[in-house]
Structure 1
Amino acid sequence: MSFKKLLTAGVLGATLAAPVFADTTKVGFVYIGPVGDHGWTYTHDLARIALEEEFGDAIETSYVENVAYGADAERVMTQMALSGTDLIFATSFGYGPDMNTVAARFPNVAFEHATGYIQETDNVSLYNARFYEGRAVIGHIAGKMTQTNKVGYIASFPIPEVIMGINSAYLHAKAVNPDVEFNVVWAYSWYDPAQEAAAAEALIEQGADIIMQHTDSTAPLTVAQDAGIFAFGQASDMSAFAPQSHLTGILDVWAPYYIERVQAVIDGTWEAGDVWHGIVDGMVGFAPFSDTIPEDVRAEAEDMIAAIAAGEYHPFTGPINKQDGTPWLADGEVASDGDLLTMDFYVEGITSDIPN
């Protein structure tokens, strides 16, 4: 049963004891990029397809891709709500103000915001993945495998999620290679193959022999392979695009969460929440490790994954200083979720600047 129909039936039931009939639950998705980006949006759409396979005719899904923040996002979500959509997933950080505006006008529709932090109404839920856990692991691998001691990082936008990932990767590369340096290039886009390729080329010219990315196209991988260096994929298994260069990559695994939330709408048990899942929950995974990763490095990476999953290790454990040398975390102190979700600084050792 739809979230909307359940609420309506609940009101009627108080006076008329009206029967409740099952109907098709409509689920909508708002995407920041194209479904063919092989990155962030691609993985959300894989989860949408998994929903259809799980629920069959009991649900109907729809999506709109390449939706800009602001007026476009508000228009798309409004149209979905007006067309009877029961549950709307907005899958990018910048949709927060737009979703909350629309949600206030449609209190009988359930809204879910990926990587969001704005929760102004009772029908807006937040969900996120602890990608910093995965970036700690690939940072360790990068620190062990770089020969030039220079790692290039292609970043999207200077928001806490991205800054957090850079810091996590750097800290773990530095822990195993004191000489490592990170050079960061900001693409100011989640998906722009030409811009991402140019960023990879610039980083290689600066001496990087390993490329990381927090952008969604496969362009950096193909540039890395052409240059004969290594790289990590993003969001999905991108190894087919650069089989000689691809070391591994963080996987965004959304399907289990989406299935759980759609089931809750069908059952009439959906409630707004705020979750941040990680490796232990299966929301953060890893593409297959390349055979080019030395056996001992692979074992160390797998041990770190296991320790994080078991709660025995947190990637942001002190002592850690901020970039200017001021203390941030004392020895053994673990960063709070609140500190991570508002992170706006680099850790000590990174020489790049965070743009305003």
Structure 2
Amino acid sequence: MKQEKKSLAQRFAKAAGVALALFMSAQSVTAAEPVKVGFVYVGPTGDAGWTYSHDKARKYVEEQLGDKVKTTYVESVAEGADAERVIRQLAKSGNDLIFTTSFGYMNPTLKVAKQFPKVKFEHASGYKRAKNVGTYFDRIYEGRYLTGVIAGKMTKSNVIGYVGSFPIPEVVRGIDAFTQGLRSVNPKAVVKVVWVSSWYDPAKEREAAETLILQGADIINQHTDSPGPIQAAQAKGVYAFGYHSDMSLYGKDAHLTAATHNWGPVYLDKVKSVIDGNWTSTDFWGGLATGATALAPLNSAIPEDVVKLVEERKQAIIEGKLHPFQGPVKDQTGAIKVPAGQVMSDEDMLSLNWYVEGVEGELPK
């Protein structure tokens, strides 16, 4: 009988050991599962602009983290109801973190986030946050200011054309910062804006650039996503600035440089925080000093003294000695909006809805 009891005890211990081993193995598999990250894009990944820059960063995260992360994306998602549907589907699919990469995704993101409190969300260029919704953007206006300095030194007609997407604070801020840089070196230069009411429409963007060239612009800038304006400038023999990424491929003679985003390190930090279990809802707004904003390589047509000036001002911005919206800043009527000795606050920049002195025409309501 004692022997039988001993045998039963041994078998029980063995079974318990096997169960424990299986449990530990399952735990190991669970721990090794990659963090799932979803991305929602407003344009196609091949737009050469905004969406391209975000998708480049997604690939960077994959390269850096390997099998620790699994990403997926949905491109060309319209802002509004369609965005809400896509964001919800990504949340249902088990994504741990979802990046929604367009201003118009702000409210849909918040709505879905409320329904999926365990999922983390990061919204680009927005200002509304929640416990599981963070926001992020780069101070691209700093790069805009520097391109304005180049334009002020390079223009012959003193007319600069600007292709705009939508008259929201982000776009207006870019136009104003560019104009501040422009007129800091050339007070006679003016900026003309044509709005296309689209983030990505190559034909309309190119047509808008051609219209501005007909109005005397010898340099074109843009806050749209396609290389259409660069192609128009190349064809017409004038200069242009790309946006979001280096667009020189589409007009090597025309392309002076571009104010660009570097989302890779930003996304990597966000994903790592989820992996490490310390993600929190924050607002990231980094610029030249953090490397989130940069300039594409400068065209060799830019004179050496201008290159030197741009580098000096870039360094001054990085060191906090220069701000694109440091006073005095005047609006179109000549009224002082930011007094001398002061700098426009982040809050005011995020709600900017007026043109600075030097921009022609009325801002659409």
- Interval of TM-score (by shorter of Structure 1 and Structure 2): over 0.9
Does 2:35 match 1:25? yes
Alignment equivalent of 1:90, drawn from 100, 110, 115: 100
Partner of 1:257: 266
Partner of 1:5: none
Mapped partners of 1:349, 1:82: distance in 2: 49
Alpha carbons 2:190, 2:359 under 8 Å: kept: yes
> Alpha-carbon deviations, 1:259-313, whole Å to 9, x = none?
0110111111111101111000000011100110001011000111111111111
Runs (5+) with no aligned partner, structure 1: 1-17
Mapped partners of 1:258, 1:245: distance in 2: 32
Alignment equivalent of 1:242, drawn from 243, 251, 274: 251
The structure with more helix, counted as a fraction of residues: 2
Mapped partners of 2:100, 2:126: distance in 1: 9
1:118 positional shift: 1.2
Number of equivalences? 338
Partner of 1:142: 151
Code of the residue aligned with 1:51 in structure 2: it is: V
Partner of 2:79: 69
Alpha carbons 2:148, 2:181 under 8 Å: kept: yes
Partner of 1:38: 48
Percent identity between the aligned chains? 51
Alignment of 1:1-356 (within 5 A): 21-119=31-129, 121-356=130-365
Mapped partners of 1:273, 1:22: distance in 2: 27
1:23 positional shift: 1.6
1:316 positional shift: 0.4
Mapped partners of 2:31, 2:217: distance in 1: 61
Mapped partners of 2:361, 2:184: distance in 1: 19
1:340 positional shift: 0.2
Mapped partners of 1:28, 1:91: distance in 2: 11
> Alpha-carbon deviations, 1:179-219, whole Å to 9, x = none?
10111000111110000010010000000000000101111
> Alpha-carbon deviations, 1:55-84, whole Å to 9, x = none?
111111000011111111111111111110
1:22 positional shift: 3.3
TM-score (norm 2): 0.91
Counterpart of 1:140 in 2: which secondary structure? helix
Alpha carbons 2:242, 2:258 under 8 Å: kept: yes
TM-score (norm 1): 0.93
Mapped partners of 1:331, 1:162: distance in 2: 24
Code of the residue aligned with 1:41 in structure 2: it is: T
- Structure 1 residue ranges (4+ consecutive) displaced by more than 3 angstroms after TM superposition: none
> Alpha-carbon deviations, 1:11-34, whole Å to 9, x = none?
xxxxxxx96733211000000000
Mapped partners of 2:89, 2:167: distance in 1: 31
1:132 positional shift: 0.7
